[in-house]
């Protein structure tokens, strides 16, 4: 049964009030769940978000207990499924998986993963639309030609049980990586440098890790944090984002202050006091600690309500401006300058429209745009939003937004 959201827009009026709690990070939970395949005992979790991607990862793990094969019908539904290949290969010496699916964000090749597995001593074969990786892993030096969060995490996990030392160069530095490495180290792994461009893993030579009752606590979702801060800046009359890690969205907060947004930032909360009229800014996405690519669609909605001209330069993915046409239909003044850059002039009032989520992050941006607009908008393909945001309609309703889910 498909579902959609109906949002009664506030036409730019700042009426949202109260607190909204940040859930556990999707990108932390999925990688930690995958890492549980490295353990000989049970791993316990806290702050695990109740989202579709987490449910799918748990299904993959349950199926992999009897065979190191990723169920095609599940793995093709979300890209993070590929992270599980690292732990399964390390533990069983073999893994079979399909090309990972998920949101269509332009070309997202898996060459980095295959080359990394080969460097660690595995053989790679492809037939019948499946990849078959085999081998007893041994330490190696792996230099990523470009920064990839998922490849960094996958090869870090694969190297945990390997023989000898593995060094990952030009590694990603997202906060989910040191959070995971710290827990693995507490359970017997030998990882150093996580959170820096060079990660060193001393392999256990096949010895499985032991949790011994230690709980993995999923860190707050920084993309959700940023999205709710943007919503609060646009429509809030005193909204506090709680149980978050403000340092993880420092790049966004810097730009919002430059635009004129007034905020009080604490150790685990961000109180958005509003301000305005806001002035436009230009954005360049970048690997952490830069501005997150996953926040560029919500940021585009924010810029439609700012005075002046601004640009967004997307440096991580191609094909990520597919949401622009719908924002233009709603009344936004946006020009796609090239596949990696858009120009936005504001402020422009937005009007209600029937929308369909093109991907997980743009789907949330559509909800924000619908909230800003005048009239009632619908956002179809709610499943994509459910993949990353826990009970979104319930939480936004508590702030005063008229949002409802309906089956179609």
Whether residues 163 and 236 fall in one domain: no
Indicate whether 37 and 162 sit together in one domain. yes
Q: Are 270 and 327 contained in the same domain?
A: yes
> Does the pTM of the predicted model rise above 0.85?
yes
> In DSSP terms, which residues pair with 133 in a beta bridge?
95, 124
Last residue of a domain, one of 217, 234, 258: 217
Q: Any idea which residues carry the catalytic annotation?
A: 103
Q: In the prediction, which pLDDT does 100 show?
A: 79
pLDDT at 56: 94
Number of domains in the chain: 2
Residue 168's domain is classified under what CATH number? 3.65.10.10
Indicate the DSSP class of residue 24: B
For the chain, residues with pLDDT lower than 50 are 102-108
Ordered DSSP codes for 209-256: B--TTPEEEPPB-HHHHHHHHHHHHHHEEEEEEES--GGGGHHHHHHH
Domain range enclosing 153: 26-217
Does one domain contain both 139 and 287? no
Q: Are 128 and 90 contained in the same domain?
A: yes
Output the pLDDT for position 129: 84
Claim to verify: residue 206 and residue 292 sit in the same structural domain: no
Same domain, 184 and 267: no
Same domain, 208 and 307: no
Verify that 191 and 249 share a domain, yes or no: no
Tell me: do 51 and 145 sit in the same domain.
yes
CA separation for the pair 203, 91 (Å, rounded): 12
pLDDT of residue 84: 96
Same domain, 325 and 253: yes
Q: What is the rounded distance in angstroms from the CA atom of residue 327 to the CA atom of residue 350?
A: 8
Question: Does 314 lie in the same domain as 200?
Answer: no
- Residue of 164, 159, 185 whose CA lies nearest to 89: 159
Answer whether 164's CB lies under 8 Å from 228's CB. Answer: no
Asked which of 217, 246, 272 is the last residue of a domain, the reply is: 217
Last residue of a domain, which of 154, 188, 217?
A: 217
């Amino acid at each position: 049964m498909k579902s959609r959201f109906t949002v009664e827009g506030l036409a730019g009026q700042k009426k949202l009030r109260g607190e909204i709690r940040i859930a556990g990070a999707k990108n932390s939970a999925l990688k930690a769940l995958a890492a549980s395949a490295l353990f000989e005992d049970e791993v316990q979790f806290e702050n695990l978000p109740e989202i579709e991607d987490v449910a799918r990862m748990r299904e993959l793990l349950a199926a992999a207990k009897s065979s190191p094969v990723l169920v095609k019908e599940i793995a093709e539904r979300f890209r993070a499924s590929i992270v599980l290949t690292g732990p399964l290969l390390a533990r069983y010496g073999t893994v079979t998986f399909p090309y990972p699916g998920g949101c269509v964000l332009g070309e997202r090749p898996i060459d980095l993963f295959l080359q990394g597995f080969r460097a660690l001593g595995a053989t790679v074969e492809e037939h019948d639309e499946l990849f078959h990786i085999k081998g007893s892993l041994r330490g190696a030096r792996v230099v990523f030609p470009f920064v990839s969060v998922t490849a960094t995490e996958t090869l870090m996990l694969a190297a945990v049980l390997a023989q000898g030392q593995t060094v990952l160069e030009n590694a990603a530095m997202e906060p989910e990586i040191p959070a995971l490495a710290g827990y693995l180290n507490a359970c017997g792994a030998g990882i150093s440098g996580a959170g820096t461009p060079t990660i060193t893993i001393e392999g256990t030579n096949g010895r499985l890790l032991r949790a011994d009752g230690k709980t993995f606590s999923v860190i707050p979702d920084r993309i959700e944090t940023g999205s709710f801060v943007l919503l609060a800046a646009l429509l809030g009359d005193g909204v506090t984002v709680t149980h978050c890690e403000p340092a993880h969205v420092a790049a966004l907060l810097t730009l919002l202050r430059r635009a004129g947004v007034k905020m009080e930032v604490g150790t685990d909360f961000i109180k958005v006091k509003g301000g305005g009229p806001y002035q436009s800014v230009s954005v360049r996405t970048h690997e952490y600690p830069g501005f997150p690519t996953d926040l560029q669609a919500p940021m585009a909605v924010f810029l439609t309500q700012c005075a002046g001209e601004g640009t967004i330069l997307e440096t991580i993915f191609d094909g990520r401006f597919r949401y622009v046409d719908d924002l233009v239909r709603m009344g936004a003044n946006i020009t796609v300058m090239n596949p990696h850059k858009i120009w936005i002039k504001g402020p422009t009032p937005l009007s209600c429209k029937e929308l369909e989520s093109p991907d997980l992050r743009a789907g949330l941006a559509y909800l924000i745009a619908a909230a800003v607009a005048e009239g009632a908008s619908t956002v179809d393909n709610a499943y994509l939003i459910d993949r990353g945001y826990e009970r979104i309609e319930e939480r936004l309703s508590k702030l005063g937004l008229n949002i409802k889910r309906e089956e179609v």
